């Protein structure tokens, strides 16, 4: 049962790290001038949200 708590804490840390980093990516995206940078930030935001934030939020709820 201790391993469930450990994975819960790891999921919470990942989730909150993504929650704090996503607004920073939005600021970088808003400040971007060229099309290439704008597209790069769109990809980064999507990967962060779908690849890290959502799975860690689900893991936090399931394990918590």
Domain carrying residue 44: 2-63
Question: What does pTM read for this prediction?
Answer: 0.86
What is the rounded CA–CA span in Å between residue 44 and residue 35? 14
Q: According to the model, what pLDDT value does residue 64 have?
A: 87
Burial of 44 per CB tally in 10 Å (0-12, 13-18, 19+): middle
Count of domains forming the chain:
1
Per-residue pLDDT tens over the stretch 13-44: 999 999 999 999 999 999 999 999 999 999 99
């Amino acid at each position: 049962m201790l391993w469930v708590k450990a994975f819960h804490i790891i999921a919470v840390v990942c989730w909150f790290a993504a929650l704090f980093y996503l607004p920073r990516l939005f600021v970088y995206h808003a400040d971007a001038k060229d099309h290439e940078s704008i597209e790069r930030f769109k990809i980064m935001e999507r990967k962060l949200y779908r690849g890290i934030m959502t799975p860690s939020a689900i893991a936090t709820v399931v394990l918590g």
